[in-house]
Structure 1
Amino acid sequence: MTNDKANKVQPAKAAATDGPYDVIYFAKKHRISNEDARTIIEKHGANRKEADKAGRRISV
């Protein structure tokens, strides 16, 4: 039996990237208000790519 760690999926990492952002983390990441972060997360849900785009647009 081999100890092949490359093929194992770590559930904690997978769960962290599948769901929507935490409001406080997202606000700090993009240097925006918590209210703006909450609005973006509600609008884009678990789509982190689109949420990040919206966060970058507001932070400019």
Structure 2
Amino acid sequence: MSNDKPKKIQPAKEAVTEAPYEVIYFAKKHRISNEDARDIIEKHGANRKEADKAGRRISV
């Protein structure tokens, strides 16, 4: 009898942060239009940190 618990496999954080946002999700998150969200995602691509900054600037 072993006290070793099976390790849970967690998704790689890099895989999640490297993918660009979905337009509708991003628009709802920042309460902006789908068109503005699409423009931001096209400009910043997979850089979610910069995309979030841009989304916050527009939503004000």
Task: State the TM-score, normalizing by the size of structure 1.
Answer: 0.80
Report which of the two structures shows the higher radius of gyration computed on alpha carbons. Answer: 2
> SS at 2:32's partner residue?
coil
Q: Aligned pairs, how many?
A: 57
Give 5+ residue unaligned stretches, structure 1.
Answer: none
Give 5+ residue unaligned stretches, structure 2.
Answer: none
Paired with 1:47 and 1:15, the residues of 2 have a C-alpha distance of: 12
RMSD: 2.0
Which residue of structure 1 lines up, in the alignment, with residue 11 of structure 2? 10
- Mapping of residues 24-35 of structure 1, within 5 Å: 24-35=24-35
Q: What percentage of aligned pairs have identical amino acids? A: 75
Paired with 2:11 and 2:49, the residues of 1 have a C-alpha distance of: 21
Task: State the TM-score, normalizing by the size of structure 2.
Answer: 0.80
